Structure 1
Amino acid sequence: MAAKKKSDKAARLPVGELRALDVGDLRSKLADQRRELMDTRLKHAVAQLEKTSELKVMRKQVARMETILNEKEQRA
């Protein structure tokens, strides 16, 4: 079985590392990820994106970060 390669663009942080971040760091990483997602969407729109699967990975990463951020804010 071939090993999965992680793309440079959609660098996915493990959930444990995301949960270890404080709220401020998590917000800044979320903003960066959203910006990166927007850039990737623009590339997809002008047919410059080779791996369209990156969009799905990035959307899931943003949702994961938002979920963890909401959990942390509700606890505080």
Structure 2
Amino acid sequence: MKANEIKDMTVDELNSKLAELKQELFNLRFQHAVNQLENPKRLQAVKKDIARVKTFIRKQESNVQ
């Protein structure tokens, strides 16, 4: 997920995307624990996406106040 895609989203869309990413991270961790994870680098990418989304949520919330 790129920063340009995130900039155009509203806070509600970002919150729903964050929930999706957290669910994906949970599933990837479960697959990793059972040794069925095909692409281990996906874990790192999802974590970075979560951080990116949280950063934009925080930025938008601070601009509103």
Query: SS of the residue aligned with 2:39?
Result: coil
| Counterpart Cα distance in 2 of 1:54 and 1:14 | 15
Give the CA RMSD over aligned residues. 0.7
Q: Does 1:17 align with 2:2?
A: no
Q: Does 1:29 align with 2:24?
A: no
Unmatched 5+ residue regions in structure 1?
A: 1-12
**Could you state the TM-score of these two structures normalised by the residue count of structure 2?**
0.93
| Counterpart Cα distance in 1 of 2:60 and 2:19 | 17
Which is richer in helix?
A: 2
| Counterpart Cα distance in 2 of 1:58 and 1:24 | 19
Q: Does 1:50 align with 2:38?
A: yes
Q: Does 1:66 align with 2:54?
A: yes
Which 4+ residue blocks in structure 1 deviate beyond 3 angstroms? Answer: none
| Counterpart Cα distance in 2 of 1:57 and 1:29 | 14
1:69 CA drift (Å)? 0.6
**Could you state the TM-score of these two structures normalised by the residue count of structure 1?**
0.80
1:14 CA drift (Å)? 1.6
- How many residue pairs end up in the alignment? 64
